[in-house]
């Protein structure tokens, strides 16, 4: 190994060690905040219904947890690789739909936990997202094979019938959003890991069995530089979180008569973050209807006042995990005191630190600073070491490099 290579490897190894040490220190400080629920694996997706959280794990299972106690209520086993995405469909029964790296889409009855169907090779690569348009009996899926597929949900007791596809993306499709316009039409947005967002009109073909859907390109958005991590559509706006370190709000291009707020935006409004933006939660799209936008980037949750979409105001930043946050959801927490039921909005987050944590919304708007680490903080007068490694750690690192 050449000297420049050794030096480069040393710098990378040292940076990794310092990052791991910082995470260990932060874990000690934050270990009890947010009422953490420990998980055996990493939650790759989460949905909240009532007092339960449904999580897709990298351990190949889907779990239903009680958010109050953390108790596992149900486990869905069948996938043979990490489960990346989940969705619900409720015609007569409450159905759970899951997608996985094993390239399958599975449908489960949540009352009995029975696996109703498996659609093998739903994609030729990892299944990365599933979205249901319930009034159309239609499932949309996106995968690492760069394809968006449509699936008919009329009969879920056997492998799903393919109802059409989109193959114009040149990178994996990891985010889909959309809404029905009528019983035979819809608008959908599809986003890929290059940051390209495409908008489509979906039209149901007449008198076809099984039903078929045709997609017609409506337009394209290119205001992100790279991967879209989350995509939402609502209030005549497109809301996105991206690995380009921005959350952006863009007027919906398919709407002819925009709402006053959406029309006030002449183009995309970018909210810059210090690291990749992983997820977002516009409370204006929820039953709360409040003008707040919650975003997560790294292990920090930020709250913005978006009363003026063109000029969002940062209200707070809160350290909520010691590793990257993967998702954020709204939870209406219900408690009973003295026979009186109380419901209060809380926020639920998941992270690569293998925990689910819970946060009172009012406290996120006005956070309390976390406790300071026990070790003595450095001051400006304290001499700066060339490396934060201990002598023993430096010696071990040098021995590892010599072995190369």
Helix 3-30 vs helix 391-403: angle between axes, to the nearest 10 degrees? 140
pTM of the model: 0.85
Task: State the pLDDT confidence band at 383, using cuts at 50, 70 and 90.
Answer: very low
Task: Specify whether the CB–CB gap between 197 and 228 falls below 8 A.
Answer: yes
Task: Extract the tokens encoding 116.
Answer: 């109703």
pLDDT in tens, 11-52: 557 667 777 777 777 777 788 899 999 999 999 999 999 999
Q: Which domains does the chain have, with CATH numbers?
A: 78-222 (2.130.10.10)
Q: How many C-beta atoms lie closer than 10 Å to residue 317's C-beta? A: 15
Mean pLDDT of the chain: 89
The 10s digit of each residue's pLDDT in 332-368 is 998 888 888 889 999 999 999 999 999 999 999 887 6
Cα 171 from Cα 354, distance rounded (Å): 29
- Cα–Cα distance for residue pair 142/135, rounded to 1 Å: 20
Confidence tier at 136 by pLDDT (50, 70, 90): very high
Q: Which two tokens stand for residue 181?
A: 């316009």
Cα–Cα distance measured from residue 144 to residue 84, given in angstroms and rounded to the nearest whole number: 12
| pLDDT per residue as tens digits for the range 311-335 | 999 999 999 999 999 999 999 998 8
> What is the Cα–Cα distance from 198 to 222, expressed in whole angstroms?
9
- Cβ–Cβ < 8 Å for 296, 357: no
Q: Is 285 helix (H, G, I), strand (E, B) or coil?
A: helix
Q: What is the pLDDT of residue 37?
A: 97
Is the pLDDT score of 220 beyond 70?
yes
Rg (CA), the chain: 23
The pLDDT confidence band at residue 67, using thresholds 50, 70 and 90, is: very high
CA 137 to chain centre: 24
Classified as helix, coil or strand, 48 is strand
Q: Is the pLDDT score of 76 beyond 50?
A: yes
Spatial CA neighbour of 286 closest among 337, 330, 220: 330
Arithmetic mean of pLDDT, 180-196:
98
What six digits make up the tokens of 403? 């072995």
The CA-based diameter of the chain, rounded to the nearest angstrom, is: 79
CB atoms < 10 A from the CB of 250, how many? 19
Angle at alpha carbon of residue 186, lines to 181 and 191, rounded to 5°: 135
Is the pLDDT score of 375 beyond 70? no
Measure the CA angle with vertex 276, ends 271 and 277; round to 5°.
55
Which among 210, 249, 244, 204 has a CA at the least distance from the CA of 224?
244
């Amino acid at each position: 190994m050449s000297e420049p290579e050794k030096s480069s490897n040393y710098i990378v190894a040292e940076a990794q060690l310092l990052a791991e040490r910082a995470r260990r220190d932060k874990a000690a400080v934050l270990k009890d905040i947010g009422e953490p629920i420990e998980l055996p694996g990493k939650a790759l997706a989460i949905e909240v219904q009532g007092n339960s959280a449904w999580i897709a794990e990298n351990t190949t299972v889907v779990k239903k947890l009680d958010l109050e106690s953390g108790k596992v209520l149900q486990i869905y086993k069948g996938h043979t690789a990490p489960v990346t995405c989940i969705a619900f469909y409720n015609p007569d029964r409450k159905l759970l739909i899951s997608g996985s790296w094993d390239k399958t889409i599975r449908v489960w009855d949540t009352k009995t936990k029975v696996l109703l169907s498996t659609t093998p090779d739903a994609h030729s690569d990892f299944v990365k997202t599933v979205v249901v348009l319930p009034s159309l009996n239609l499932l949309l899926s996106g995968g690492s094979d760069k394809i968006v597929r449509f699936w008919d949900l009329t009969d879920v007791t056997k492998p799903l019938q393919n109802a059409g596809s989109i193959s114009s993306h040149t990178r994996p499709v990891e985010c889909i959003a959309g809404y029905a316009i009528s019983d035979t039409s819809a608008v959908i947005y599809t986003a890929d890991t290059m940051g390209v967002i495409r908008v489509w009109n979906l039209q149901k073909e007449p008198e076809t069995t099984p039903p078929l859907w045709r997609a017609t390109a409506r337009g394209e958005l290119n205001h992100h530089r790279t991967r879209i991590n989350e995509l939402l559509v609502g209030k005549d706006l497109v809301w996105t979180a991206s690995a380009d370190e921005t959350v952006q709000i863009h007027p919906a291009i398919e709407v002819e008569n925009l709402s006053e707020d959406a029309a006030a935006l002449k183009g995309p409004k970018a909210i810059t973050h210090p690291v990749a933006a992983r997820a977002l939660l516009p409370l204006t799209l929820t039953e709360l209807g409040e003008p707040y936008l919650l975003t997560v980037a790294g292990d920090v949750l930020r709250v913005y006042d978006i009363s003026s979409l063109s000029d969002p105001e940062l209200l707070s930043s809160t350290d909520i995990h010691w590793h990257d946050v993967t998702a954020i959801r709204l939870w209406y927490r219900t408690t009973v005191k003295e026979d009186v039921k109380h419901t209060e909005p809380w926020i639920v987050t998941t992270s690569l630190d293998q925990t689910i944590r819970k946060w009172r919304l009012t406290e996120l708007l006005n956070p309390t600073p976390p406790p300071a680490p026990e070790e003595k903080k450095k001051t400006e007068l304290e001499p700066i070491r060339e490396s934060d490694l201990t002598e023993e750690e430096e010696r071990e690192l040098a021995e590892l490099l010599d072995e190369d």
